């Protein structure tokens, strides 16, 4: 086999390899986009649930802080009464 034929065969093989890699890459990207579409809605629902939970936690924390402030005022009032009596 002459050098020119060998060179042409090598170029053709490299070209076919590049086409095969490009095809594999395109299929991978298509599969990835399909997966994003499939799981995107589930992700959004999960994110909404976490946002709701965070809001409820903040509200509960604020309520607890308010209750603690009220209790501290009562304890201070009782403490003052005890000092005045005692």
Instruction: Encode pLDDT of 45-69 as tens digits.
Output: 889 999 999 999 999 999 999 999 9
CA–CA gap between residue 61 and residue 68 (Å, rounded): 10
Instruction: Report pLDDT for 63.
Output: 93
Instruction: Report pLDDT for 36.
Output: 77
Instruction: Report pLDDT for 35.
Output: 78
Q: Chain centroid to CA 66: how far?
A: 33
63 vs 1, 54, 57, 60, CA distance in Å? 88, 14, 10, 5
| Residue among 43, 66, 47 at smallest CA distance from 55 | 47
Backbone angles phi, psi at 2, to 5 degrees: -85, 165
Which pLDDT tens digit goes with each residue over 7-54?
Answer: 888 888 998 898 998 989 889 888 888 877 777 788 888 899 999 999
């Amino acid at each position: 086999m002459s050098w020119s034929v060998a060179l042409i065969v090598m170029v053709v093989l490299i070209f076919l390899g590049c086409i095969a890699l490009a095809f594999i890459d395109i299929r991978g990207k298509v599969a990835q986009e399909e997966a994003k579409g499939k799981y995107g809605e589930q992700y959004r629902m999960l994110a909404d649930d976490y946002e709701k939970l965070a809001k409820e936690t903040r509200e509960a924390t604020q309520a607890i802080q308010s209750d603690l402030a009220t209790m501290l005022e009562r304890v201070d009032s009782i403490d003052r009464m005890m000092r005045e009596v005692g």
